[in-house]
Amino acid sequence: MAVALGALLAVAAPASAQGPVARDVILGGHLYPKPYGNTYVYGHVRVPATEPAADVAGQTVALWASAFPFTAWTQVATLTTDFGGYFSYHTTLAQNMTYRAIWQTAPPVTSKDKLVKVPLKLSLRASHKRVKRKGVVTFTGAGRPAHPGARIDLQQIDKHGRFKTVDSTVASPASEFRVRIRVRRGSVYRVLFPGDGQFGVAASRPVRVRTHR
**In which element (H, E) is residue 58 found?**
none
Mean pLDDT of 126-144: 94
The pLDDT > 70 percentage for the chain reads 92
Which of 116, 133, 160 is a domain's end point?
116
Query: Is the per-residue pLDDT at 16 higher than 50?
Result: no
112 and 136 share a domain?
A: no
Question: Reduced to 3 states, what is the DSSP secondary structure of residue 33?
Answer: coil
Report pLDDT for 7.
53
What amino acid occupies position 189? Y
131 and 39 share a domain?
A: no
169 and 208 share a domain?
A: yes
d(Cα 120, Cα 152) in Å, to the nearest integer? Answer: 11
101 and 127 share a domain?
A: no
The number of folded domains in the chain is 2
36 and 22 share a domain?
A: yes
Report pLDDT for 1.
52
Q: String of b and e for 143-157 (b: at least 16 CB within 10 Å)?
A: beeebeebebbbbbe
Report pLDDT for 19.
77
Question: Reduced to 3 states, what is the DSSP secondary structure of residue 206?
Answer: coil
Report pLDDT for 99.
98
d(Cα 127, Cα 79) in Å, to the nearest integer? Answer: 51
Which of 60, 88, 116 is a domain's end point?
116
pLDDT digits (tens, 9 = 90+) for 42-98: 999 999 999 999 999 999 999 999 999 999 999 999 999 999 999 999 999 999 999
127 and 62 share a domain?
A: no
β-bridge mates for residue 40, sequence order: 30, 90
The DSSP line for 149-160 is: T-EEEEEEE-TT
140 and 207 share a domain?
A: yes
Band the pLDDT of 213: cuts 50, 70, 90: confident
Mean pLDDT of 130-155: 95
- Specify the pTM: 0.84
Query: Is the per-residue pLDDT at 194 higher than 90?
Result: yes
d(Cα 49, Cα 70) in Å, to the nearest integer? Answer: 35
Contacts of 127 (CB under 8 A, 6+ apart): 137, 138, 139, 140
Domain ranges, residue 42: 2-116
- CATH code at 30? 2.60.40.10
d(Cα 164, Cα 6) in Å, to the nearest integer? Answer: 38
Query: Is the per-residue pLDDT at 17 higher than 70?
Result: no
7 and 105 share a domain?
A: yes
What amino acid occupies position 167? D
